Amino acid sequence: MKNPGQRLFVFLFAIAFSFSAFADELLPPGFRPVPPGVHALVGGKVFVKPGEVIESATIIIRDGFIEKVGKDISPPADARIWDMKGMTLYAGFIDPYLKIGTVGEVTKEAKKQVDLTSGRFFGLPGGEIDPGNTGAGAGVGLIDPQRRISEIYAPDFKNLEKMRDLGFTAANIVPDKGILRGSSAFVQLSDVDPNRAMLKPNVAQHVVFDNEGRKDMAYPESLMGIISVVRQTFFDAQHYATARDFYNKNGGKRPEFNPALQALQLAISKSVPVVFEPDSALMVDRAARVARELHVDFQIVSSGQEWRRPDLAKETGASFIVPLDFPELPKLPADDDWEQISLDQLRAWDWAPENAAVLRQQGLEVALTTHGLEDKTKFRKNIKGAVDRGLSEQDALAALTTIPAKLCGVEQLLGTLEPGKLANLTIVDGKGYFDPEAKVREVWIDGRNYHGDVEPAKKDKKKDDEKTDKEKAEKEKKETEKKEALKKRLAKSPLEGRGVITNPAGIYIYGATVWTSVSNEKPATLSILISDGKIQKIGSFKADAGPKTLTIDARGQHITPGLIDAHSHSAILHDVNEGTLPSSAMVRIGDVVNSETDNLYEELAGGLTTANLLHGSANPIGGQNQVIKLRDGASPEGLKFAEAPQGIKFALGENVKQSNWGEKYKTRFPQTRMGVKTFIRNRFIAAQQYLAGWKNYSKNGGSPPARDLELEAIGEILEGKRWIHSHSYRADEILMLLRLMQDFKVQIATFQHVLEGYKVADELAAGNVGGSTFADWWAYKFEVYDAIPYNGSLMRDRGVLVSFNSDSHDLARHLNFEAAKAVKFGGTPEEEALKFVTINPAKQLRIDKHVGSLEVGKDADFVIWSKSPLDSSTVCLQTWIDGKKYFDRDLDAQRTEAMVKERAAILEKAKKILGADGGGDTKDPEVKKFFRRSLEHQYDGVNRHCLDDEE
């Protein structure tokens, strides 16, 4: 039982051969008789495999297999002779990723009965709204790993013919719905019944980061939720095997039978790979990391946008299945409507044909697929586009033959024209497949010939004749211009003009008024010496800087530590909330850090260097946070503040009891502040029991407990390894959580917003809890009617550790001004007010050993300002992180100009092409792709507050 998949494969292989040795069953009269099975294809140019060509070769096919290939082979006497002169013969093309819906009907599955008594905890989120999955299985909607294409594949021959017209002879049919979708099946694209067509029933397990079809309020709504579900389900499957094994040996409590977890055993044992379709450049990275974490073999379906971060694609080391569904230019209603097309959209359009080549340049294996193209006839044109933009013809051929054969585990049967392989061939006119004009004449599948597309009568030929020569010439000229324009990319890499500006070996700054944010120090003229990313010396000294040291004359300017935002949602992919369940402790912001958003640069330009990315406030126990440094240009992992301890978002009050969500949302527990306490207490007790279960197991053995990522995270809070940052407004709820956590001996790190913190400042101070508040937001909802701008000062006066946060991309660009308001309201001294956005949030996030003040040994994160940081007319001039410069106001105009120019150039190219073809209908699927805003830039410039993002 070491490798059941492989055994199955060998078994199938044996069957295939055994059939070939005998004649087919004699069919009764009335059926078309089985044709003779021996063929000689003579005189064609044969690509035996990519890179190996034989001119005027002969191929002998016998009973569905290739018997011989070579130059001087005389056809056997029993062979039917096929003249292949002037033809190019390839191994039959394979599509490794063909969705079931595109080739056949999907059988309707039996309606499952609703059973709400199972008690499976996926949050009990208002039974009326979300029953989750019904029947046996995973319990979460969209998790259907038990679905098997081999059992539902029912091809529509018309659709198969369309695939054959493109030269495809076989395909891996993949499931088309859900997150964990089930297993794919490899079939021949021949007009035979599915039993005969099927070559391999379980090719791969399929995971897609997509929750389309989700019911309202059904978990998971967010991308981080999707990833959490994938993770949890695989862990459940691992546990399932061990628990059943234990039961079989030792008896005890009978484990459940779960077909979903059963189905995943093939992937867990690496008998089949898991194919991830991550759908965005950054999720490619995440998919690979999750796959490694789960110890599964994996392949990746390209998002079409790996050009954004080729480095991340390279790091995956994965094989990529690459769609060729390039965006096409639209015909917009008015010329000035082009105004709203962003540089990023134009880039995505311009880069698209080059993506396959980019992946190859990273040394990655590439297989091509028609997936994504609703009009699959565009495949030929687009593969030419990819070849024109750097994909070699040899790589392209491999991507249609050997690579997909390997990825689907059928390389012993298909992929090359070598003796012993199945007789799958793709036969193309003269110039070969990569000339879109050359027709696919015929394909062979299992030694059977299928005629290609009969040449359609040219409908517009007459029209052409009527046109004058001049018009024709004009049209041709435009057409040539279009072709030439398409060949050249004008878009730049989004990594250009971004990231580290300078990284000097050493830095010596003198003359500036330095706000150190160290205990009682007042702003003073100090010198700073920096090397290795750390502050080496600070004080009144003159340094004799060596030639490798950058000297900055900062006379007249002010320097502060890099600003720190204890509450940000600025760099999160997709939803900020997994607000479906009252506890989503298992979801991790760390899974969805958005390193590509322009927000990073804009916040750097306001002096921000560190941010606490938090889950929203839609539920009492939210997701796990991620502290980042704004190292623009780095990868998501590269942004992470390695030394920052883990945390988690909690929330109280109106948001979590759905007060402002509308009449529909009245059934999820909790709906009152009473319920909020009850719920949180319940989960902590559950976590205590969970930890006790594991402790008992490690001490006494027995049936292994299941890993539960929700309770694991709450358990970490109990163990002091995970810090709570709780959204809160009213004094009563603040006290409630403080006391409840004290009951569990848990130290809360911060109350976030804590707008009535001033009413219970003594209690907060005594509880040693930080208050991370707004400078002056108030009155936007009832629970903040008592919010006052004196809150920060009042809490500080009573000994609370206070910070001011942004909770908005806008405020994150000028947190220093928020700090200034504490001077006005309540008279906090200036250097103390600045601490609200430097050392205090650093302490609250437990990263003050590294950042938050300018002290020897700390990270060289600092900002140079034109005036006092609290002066309303100050401007941030430079922002440095780890001794590297990330923002320089002097260089910004240049940067902007480059972008404006780039956009104009791509737009000009687009207009040239539009001049030739007028642009596509906006309802055309490929034109719609032009409108797609990349996940990475969807929320650029959007002020996402945790308070209004819950729906």
Partner 1 sequence: MRSQINIGPGARAAGLRVQSKLQQAGKLPSLLCALAICSSAFISSNAVADALVLMNVTVHTGSGPVITNGYVMIENGKIKAVGPGNEKPPIDEAPKLDLKGLHLYPGMVALDTALGLSEIGAVRSTRDETEVGDFIPDVESWIAVNPSSEIIPVVRANGIAYIEPAPQGAMVPGQSSVVALDGWTTEEMVFKKQAALHVVWPEMELDLTPKDKFSGDKSKWKSVEDQAKERDKKIRTLQDFFSEARAYAKAKAADKSATTLQFIPAWEAMIPYVNGELPVMIHANELRQITHSIKWAQTNDLKAVIVGGRDAVLATNELVAAKMAVVYENVYTPRYRDSEAYDIHFKTPSLLQKAGIKIAISMGPETFDGPLTKNLPYQAAQAIAFGLPEEEALKSITLYPAQLMGVGDKIGSIEAGKEATFFTMNGSVFDMRAQVKHMWIAGKELSLENRHTRLYEKYKGRPKAK
Site for partner 1 in 888-927 (CB under 8 A): 892-893, 896, 899-900, 902-903, 922-923
Stretch that binds partner 1, among 259-267, 416-424, 719-727, 937-945 (CB under 8 A): 937-945
Distance separating alpha carbons of residues 175 and 185, to the nearest angstrom = 9
Reported as half-sphere exposure (CB side, CA atoms, 13 A), residue 442 has a value of 13
Q: Tell me if 864 contacts partner 1 by CB under 8 A.
A: no
Distance separating alpha carbons of residues 692 and 685, to the nearest angstrom = 11
Q: Is 949 left (phi over 0), alpha (psi -120 to 50) or beta?
A: alpha
Of 94, 51, 60, give the one whose Cα is nearest residue 423: 60
Q: Give, in degrees to the nearest 5, the angle at Cα 569 between 568 and 572.
A: 135
Q: Tell me if 782 contacts partner 1 by CB under 8 A.
A: yes
Stretch that binds partner 1, among 141-149, 233-241, 617-625, 871-879 (CB under 8 A): 871-879
Q: Report the residue from 870, 877, 881, 910 that binds partner 1 according to the rule CB under 8 A.
A: 870
Q: Tell me if 340 contacts partner 1 by CB under 8 A.
A: yes
Q: Report the residue from 823, 905, 914, 916 that binds partner 1 according to the rule CB under 8 A.
A: 823
Beta pairing partners, 180: 143, 207
Beta pairing partners, 183: 148, 205
Q: Tell me if 165 contacts partner 1 by CB under 8 A.
A: no
Site for partner 1 in 200-259 (CB under 8 A): 212
Q: Is 101 left (phi over 0), alpha (psi -120 to 50) or beta?
A: alpha
Which lies closer to partner 1 via its Cβ, residue 92 or residue 606? Answer: 606
CB of 646 to partner 1, least distance (A): 30
Other Cβ atoms less than 10 A from the Cβ of 346: the count is 24
For residue 69, give both structure tokens.
Answer: 């290939």
Distance separating alpha carbons of residues 752 and 756, to the nearest angstrom = 11
Residues that bind partner 1 (rule: CB under 8 A) add up to a total of 77
Which lies closer to partner 1 via its Cβ, residue 38 or residue 907? Answer: 907
Q: Tell me if 339 contacts partner 1 by CB under 8 A.
A: yes
Which lies closer to partner 1 via its Cβ, residue 43 or residue 327? Answer: 327
Which lies closer to partner 1 via its Cβ, residue 153 or residue 758? Answer: 758
Tokens 């294809």 identify what position?
41
Which lies closer to partner 1 via its Cβ, residue 648 or residue 815? Answer: 815
Distance separating alpha carbons of residues 513 and 558, to the nearest angstrom = 5
| CB-based burial label for 596 (10 Å; 0-12, 13-18, 19+) | buried
Q: Tell me if 602 contacts partner 1 by CB under 8 A.
A: yes
Q: Give, in degrees to the nearest 5, the angle at Cα 75 between 71 and 80.
A: 130
Q: Report the residue from 500, 788, 914, 916 that binds partner 1 according to the rule CB under 8 A.
A: 788
Tokens 């917003």 identify what position?
753
Beta pairing partners, 750: 725, 770
Stretch that binds partner 1, among 512-520, 608-616, 643-651, 870-878 (CB under 8 A): 870-878
Which lies closer to partner 1 via its Cβ, residue 197 or residue 571? Answer: 571
Stretch that binds partner 1, among 46-54, 417-425, 738-746, 823-831 (CB under 8 A): 823-831
Other Cβ atoms less than 10 A from the Cβ of 25: the count is 8
Q: Tell me if 556 contacts partner 1 by CB under 8 A.
A: no
Of 805, 834, 837, 498, give the one whose Cα is nearest residue 639: 498
CB of 516 to partner 1, least distance (A): 20
For residue 851, give both structure tokens.
Answer: 């950042």
Q: Report the residue from 24, 83, 115, 337 that binds partner 1 according to the rule CB under 8 A.
A: 337
Distance separating alpha carbons of residues 764 and 792, to the nearest angstrom = 13
Return the SS3 of 13: helix
Which lies closer to partner 1 via its Cβ, residue 450 or residue 661? Answer: 661
Q: C-alpha distances in angstroms, 884 versus 150, 496, 640, 839? A: 55, 17, 16, 20
Site for partner 1 in 69-108 (CB under 8 A): none
Q: Report the residue from 361, 500, 830, 914 that binds partner 1 according to the rule CB under 8 A.
A: 830
Site for partner 1 in 483-542 (CB under 8 A): none
| CB-based burial label for 210 (10 Å; 0-12, 13-18, 19+) | middle
Q: Report the residue from 54, 73, 332, 914 that binds partner 1 according to the rule CB under 8 A.
A: 332
Site for partner 1 in 6-65 (CB under 8 A): none
Which lies closer to partner 1 via its Cβ, residue 98 or residue 343? Answer: 343
Q: Tell me if 871 contacts partner 1 by CB under 8 A.
A: yes
Stretch that binds partner 1, among 265-273, 355-363, 672-680, 782-790 (CB under 8 A): 782-790
Site for partner 1 in 632-691 (CB under 8 A): 654, 659-660
Residue 588 near residue 228, CB atoms below 8 Å? yes
For residue 394, give both structure tokens.
Answer: 């040899």
CB of 763 to partner 1, least distance (A): 6
Q: Tell me if 809 contacts partner 1 by CB under 8 A.
A: yes
Residue 869 near residue 607, CB atoms below 8 Å? yes
Q: Identify the sign of the CA torsion 555, 556, 561, 562.
A: negative
Stretch that binds partner 1, among 273-281, 336-344, 425-433, 849-857 (CB under 8 A): 336-344
CB of 175 to partner 1, least distance (A): 18
Contacts of 380 (CB under 8 A, 6+ apart): 166, 433, 436
CB of 576 to partner 1, least distance (A): 14
β-bridge pairing 621-624 and 549-553: unpaired
* Amino acid, res. 479: E
Site for partner 1 in 312-331 (CB under 8 A): 330
CB of 758 to partner 1, least distance (A): 5
* Amino acid, res. 618: A
Which lies closer to partner 1 via its Cβ, residue 296 or residue 794? Answer: 794
Site for partner 1 in 278-307 (CB under 8 A): none
Q: Report the residue from 146, 370, 874, 878 that binds partner 1 according to the rule CB under 8 A.
A: 874
Of 411, 360, 440, 444, give the one whose Cα is nearest residue 49: 411
For residue 330, give both structure tokens.
Answer: 């639209």
Which lies closer to partner 1 via its Cβ, residue 435 or residue 598? Answer: 598
For residue 482, give both structure tokens.
Answer: 């279009």
CB of 908 to partner 1, least distance (A): 14
Q: Report the residue from 596, 859, 888, 940 that binds partner 1 according to the rule CB under 8 A.
A: 940
- Full strand arrangement of the beta sheet holding 608-613: 563-568, 608-613, 626-629
Contacts of 227 (CB under 8 A, 6+ apart): 209, 286, 290, 587, 588, 591, 592
Which lies closer to partner 1 via its Cβ, residue 344 or residue 859? Answer: 344
Stretch that binds partner 1, among 44-52, 243-251, 710-718, 781-789 (CB under 8 A): 781-789
Beta pairing partners, 44: 57
Site for partner 1 in 582-601 (CB under 8 A): 598-599, 601
CB of 330 to partner 1, least distance (A): 7
Distance from the Cα of residue 569 to its chain's centroid = 17
Which lies closer to partner 1 via its Cβ, residue 685 or residue 875? Answer: 875
Which lies closer to partner 1 via its Cβ, residue 340 or residue 540? Answer: 340
Of 283, 367, 887, give the one whose Cα is nearest residue 635: 283
Which lies closer to partner 1 via its Cβ, residue 453 or residue 786? Answer: 786
Stretch that binds partner 1, among 278-286, 308-316, 698-706, 788-796 (CB under 8 A): 788-796
Stretch that binds partner 1, among 313-321, 337-345, 477-485, 616-624 (CB under 8 A): 337-345
CB of 342 to partner 1, least distance (A): 5
Residue 826 near residue 792, CB atoms below 8 Å? yes
Site for partner 1 in 751-780 (CB under 8 A): 758-763, 766, 776-780
Q: Tell me if 937 contacts partner 1 by CB under 8 A.
A: yes
Residue 569 near residue 593, CB atoms below 8 Å? no
Site for partner 1 in 610-639 (CB under 8 A): none
